Amino acid sequence: MKVRLAKTAGFCMGVRRAMEIVLAEANKADGPLFTLGPLIHNNQVLQLLETKGVRAVEDPEGLPEGRIVIRAHGIPPQLRRKIKNSGLKAIDATCPRVARVQAIIRYHTKKGRSAIIVGDENHAEVIGLKGYSETPAHVIRTVDDVSKLPHLQKPFVVAQTTQNDENFRQVVKALKARFPDILVFETICEATHHRQQEVKAFGGQVDAVVVVGGYHSGNTRRMVEILKGQGMPTFHVETEKDLDRNQLSRMGVIGVTAGASTPNWMIKNVVREIEGIRGRKERLLAHWSRETLKFLVLSNLMVSAGAFSFSHAISILSGFPPGLSFPLITFFYLYAMHVLNRFLDKGASAYNDPERAAFLRKNRWLLIMTALGGIFGALVLAYRISVITFLALALFSALGIVYSIPLLPKALRHKYTYSKIKDIPGSRTLAEASAWTAVIWALPLIESHQIQWPSAMISALVVFLMAYTRSALFDLFQVQGDLIVGTETLPISLGEKRTITLLKILLLSAGVILAGGPLSGWVNAFSYLLILPLLTLALCLAAYERHWLYPGVVFEALVEGNFFMAGLLSVIWQVL
């Protein structure tokens, strides 16, 4: 079944921020941790947080010492004061968009204006907003409620941040007719607006839409209402278990979107389940092509083949004699390391990439045996080249496996923050980039009899910078799962924006190196051609940053494709 996934599906900024705050606090294990009310409207996420020791409470009174998180919806000022007097440490995760609406209400009601809130009166956000009003606040939902309002002096209107765009416009129109001097504040969250516009755009492009999200989530229900209002066949599901496979199998293309409180792993599970349904309108060739691509990515054959291609390109750049031995060693070694480390470090995969986690479980022994065969094959090839190359590769292999293995006895691990190399913040990205550099650049260098150090150093920098960017980009895809299991990757340590900025700087540096190398005479003109895969890798980063593509199998294949491109360019260079 072909799936079209909405770019805006999943956590909005406010929910993502709240989740990151709570998970970071949970990973500190610094005493009891509570949330004031359910953090978000998603039962599966709340159950997950309970396993992390996070308990939702409705009233802070009587709680023992500890920390309490104010959820994204915000709370009234009176409740804030109650928390302060309770002795609990308050951690504010109020969405900045909600905080802006709170500030508008407080500012204008202090001046004697009357607040009108368009929203659901019993929703946590609206309850919090009402608390900031110095004058009586009036909550309405639809145009019909406008006539029920009393006569108001100097009124102003705001919206609950997750309100329906069209409904708010209609209500404002009616309010202006009744109160010509009314002040209007467009406070619907930009993310909510984009979601609603995107689901409207599904019309005529898909046969049906599946909306993933809690059945009691307001913003999710509103998307369902919008779609049904447009006459679109719509299925609201909480998990993949709720899908109606029989009805969906009659379709050709299924649109998938999700509420602002739906985590990535739940969306991916639903997408995986739908893609596994053979639609009546789907051609067999298209189905098998997609399944083949999925197999190549999930089995790590694609990343290994990309590294094989990249290895050949770097040999041309370095001036090493081109051949197949070192690229084959690269293929076998990186295949083995990627597979084995996924099994040794599989905690986050269930959340980051449920499809890969299911693939690993299903093909566990086949993958482990082929990975061990990969190490053996790489060592045999290395031994045929020389004993030194064999010993160097054996050392690299040992280091690669040690990365995910506890270095301390079980009885001592709880006393230390870092019991494995992978526990060190940002180590995963650095370790992967170092492994690529070691096998692609260092091994051939060992066998080089006349080392041209300027070209060798340029080659090393290019390999490291491109491999580092690749690994860090995948870390950006996996922040939610890594936070859940407490893995401090680069984006978690630096933050998403700083990580993206760092990667832009690294790609720019690699571009300057590749452009300047031939001008200085340190490397050959092939360096100019390698700027092309560097630019397409930068394009992948932009696609993530601007939400052009949703992280998944296709996106991962596109990232690996940059390294295939480098190999193809090296073959063209040799031929010409």
Indicate whether 422 pLDDT > 70: no
Domain count, the chain: 4
| pTM beyond 0.75, yes or no | yes
278 and 297 in a single domain? The answer is no
Q: Residue 139 is part of a domain; what is its CATH number?
A: 3.40.1010.20
The pLDDT of 476-503, averaged and rounded, is: 84
Q: Cα dist. 553→27, 211, 294, 302, 548 in Å?
A: 29, 21, 6, 11, 15
The answer to whether residue 6 sits within a structural domain is no
The answer to whether residue 269 sits within a structural domain is yes
60, 94, 128 - which closes a domain: 94
Indicate whether 296 pLDDT > 70: yes
Q: E-strand spans in 110-252?
A: 114-118, 138-140, 155-159, 183-184, 208-212, 234-237
Q: How far, in whole angstroms, is CA 176 from its chain's centroid?
A: 42
61, 94, 127 - which closes a domain: 94
Torsion of CA 230, 233, 235, 236, to 10 degrees: 10
Express each pLDDT in 238-284 by its tens digit: 988 899 988 888 888 899 999 888 888 888 889 888 887 766 666 77
395 and 490 in a single domain? The answer is yes
Q: How far apart are CA 156 and CA 513, in angstroms?
A: 57
Q: Residue 527 is part of a domain; what is its CATH number?
A: 1.10.600
473 and 514 in a single domain? The answer is yes
The answer to whether residue 4 sits within a structural domain is no
Stated length of the chain: 576
The answer to whether residue 460 sits within a structural domain is yes
Kindly state the tokens that stand for 418: 């870092």
84 and 149 in a single domain? The answer is no
189 in helix, strand or coil? coil
336 and 481 in a single domain? The answer is yes
Q: Residue 21 is part of a domain; what is its CATH number?
A: 3.40.50.11270
The answer to whether residue 555 sits within a structural domain is yes
The answer to whether residue 205 sits within a structural domain is yes
211 and 234 in a single domain? The answer is yes
Express each pLDDT in 15-60 by its tens digit: 888 888 998 888 887 788 999 888 887 888 888 888 888 998 888 8
134 is a catalytic site residue? no
230, 264, 285 - which closes a domain: 285
Indicate whether 352 pLDDT > 70: no
For residue 155, what pLDDT is reported?
96
Range name among 116-125, 290-299, 475-484 with the lowest pLDDT average: 475-484
281 and 305 in a single domain? The answer is no
The answer to whether residue 46 sits within a structural domain is yes
356 and 227 in a single domain? The answer is no
Residues facing 56 on adjacent strands:
35
368 and 480 in a single domain? The answer is yes
Domain range for residue 306? 293-575
Identify the DSSP state of 72.
Answer: T
Higher pLDDT, 231 or 353: 231
Identity of the amino acid at 287? H
Q: How far apart are CA 217 and CA 230, in angstroms?
A: 20
Helix (H) or strand (E) holding 64: none
Indicate whether 347 pLDDT > 60: no
339 and 305 in a single domain? The answer is yes
88 and 105 in a single domain? The answer is no
Q: How far apart are CA 105 and CA 7, in angstroms?
A: 32
Q: Tokens 């197999």 appear where? A: 295
Report which of 187, 189, 208 is spatially closest to residue 197, judged by C-alpha positions: 189
Indicate whether 218 pLDDT > 90: no
Catalytic annotation, pick one of 20, 25, 125, 432: 125
418 and 306 in a single domain? The answer is yes
Express each pLDDT in 142-197 by its tens digit: 999 999 999 998 999 999 998 888 899 999 999 999 999 999 999 998 877 788 88
Indicate whether 353 pLDDT > 90: no
Indicate whether 527 pLDDT > 80: yes
For residue 86, what pLDDT is reported?
83
